[in-house]
Structure 1
Amino acid sequence: MNLRSALFAVVIGVLFAGVASADSVEILRTDDRLTTHFAAESGIHTLTMHPVAHPADERFRAWRSTDDEALLVERAGRYTGVMIDGSRTFRIRPTTTGHELTSVAPRASLECLTPDAAALPPLEIAKSAPRKAAGTATIEVLVVYTPKAAAAVEDIEAEIALAAEQANASYVDSGVFQRLHIAATRQVEYGETGLLAVDLAALTWKNEGVMDEVHAWREEAGADLVALIVSDGGKFCGSSNIMSTLSLDFATQAFSVIALDCAVSQFSFVHELGHLMGARHDVHSDATAGAPFDFNHGHILT
């Protein structure tokens, strides 16, 4: 086994119960294994991670732990990831001086905002016959982000790659034969409003003078879906148009907006893209039936 790098220590800041303390993470990386030692409230943890065969974004190498509790993406020796320790979630991010491990505080509200159809101009969508995919389908995604979102983290593209890896891991675990592929990432010059419904409408509609370039980028990249990452979602984690009628022509509405701090820690990236595929909330909060499937409602586990 050829070592690609030696054992090294990254000094990080660990945040527990609002008290910051210094600790270290040790990482031993080989061609086919990454071993991480890190400190948490419940003690010292060792995670053994293996490379993901086909990363969602080829610019990064992706790693997943053998116990499925951690995901990391790596580029040029810089790691961005998420780790679960019981009921606690931690994230690791690169900084200008090294890496930082922080505990993710649970959000009081995890609401997903769906647009009010009456507030948006009607679309003229012709009916077309859907095609059934053979084997594992690859879904191409264009992800754009605002300047504020880019400024909020050290490496916004790594955050996007991690969110896509988390989505693909959830598909694997659920026996869903599809995978996301990041077709392109771009910064779009858009001033966030803090209102996801407004941001979603601005992203979706063409020739309105706001984010119109995104539609050209989508064509250039050959993307099926488009996601906008913003830094401020207000009290919401994300908003998407929802495919309620099965039609290839839904492509004109296949747009989502996701708040950066929810994208991975609250699974909002995969959640919002799920709406674009016809997935809906649990029946208690969304009582629609057969729109577009009879089996597309989520469930709340208690």
Structure 2
Amino acid sequence: MFKGILSPVVTILDENGNLDLPGNEMVINRLISQGINGLLFMGSIGEFFALSTAEKQEFISFAVKTVAKRVPVLIGTGGTVQAEVIALTRFAEQAGADGVVVISPYYFKLDPETIYRYYASLAQTTTLPIMLYNYPDRTAVDLGPELVLRLAREFKHIVAIKDTVDNISHTRRLIQAVKAERPDFCVLSGFDEYLIPNLMAGGDGILGGLTNVIPHVFFSLMTAYEAKDLTGVAAAQAKISVLMNLYDVSQPFVAAIKGAVVQMGLPVIPKVKEPAADVTSQQMQRIQQLLIQAEVL
């Protein structure tokens, strides 16, 4: 259901840290026009963790209306309060979203049975397609093949997983275990540079932050792969390899990705939600250097 190049969209803010809806509309239109296959709002790079419930609801309604069915709209509804996760998922469903992406609970290191109950309880309250979100660097818990297969077996509207693990073997094991019984189940890598390894292992694509910066490069990479154009694959992959260094420019990496979007010519400001710090002039210089090195600027 969710295949190809998907973008976890940055959330554009004004100088006061409030939602900049015209700026977000520009981001959305740019991504769609450059070939992105689906948009995730309020993922990690969309700063879901720093948005209030009111902001999330406003943004959901805005995003669904603005995208207007041009591509699938996914909403990040995960959190640590299960009732709030269920309520936000219901809101997204009523607003017309095409699916939700739900990170596993974080803070405590939960056992697989507890995580199963979390997702099962959510699945019983919605008919929306659900994408699991595995990000053990943030949750301290890994969604392994056995747990994912159990959920996929029991709930047909649990349809996908974003596997943000810096180990393609982990993603490959998920692909082999789950697709053996659910061939329709989509497995996406959360690391931009793993698009081709994901596809070659039988997966379905990526949901990665660099798509905000160079959507056209990812489009060309997918096109080259499908055409068996090795030269084209190598050229696009080389650009992505250089730009993976953007993730190390700021902590968290959201500020650097926003800075790179601005460097690519979008007339917005790279404001991030507190307590994270906005990108500095020195960091912006480093971002520009990387974009020039990758030959996209």
TM range (shorter): under 0.3
Q: Which is higher, the Rg of structure 1 or of structure 2? A: 1
- TM-score of the superposition, structure 1-length normalised? 0.27
TM-score between the two structures when normalised by the length of structure 2: 0.27
Higher RCO, 1 vs 2 (CA within 8 Å, ≥6 residues apart) = 2
Structure having the higher strand fraction is 1
Q: Which has the higher helix share?
A: 2
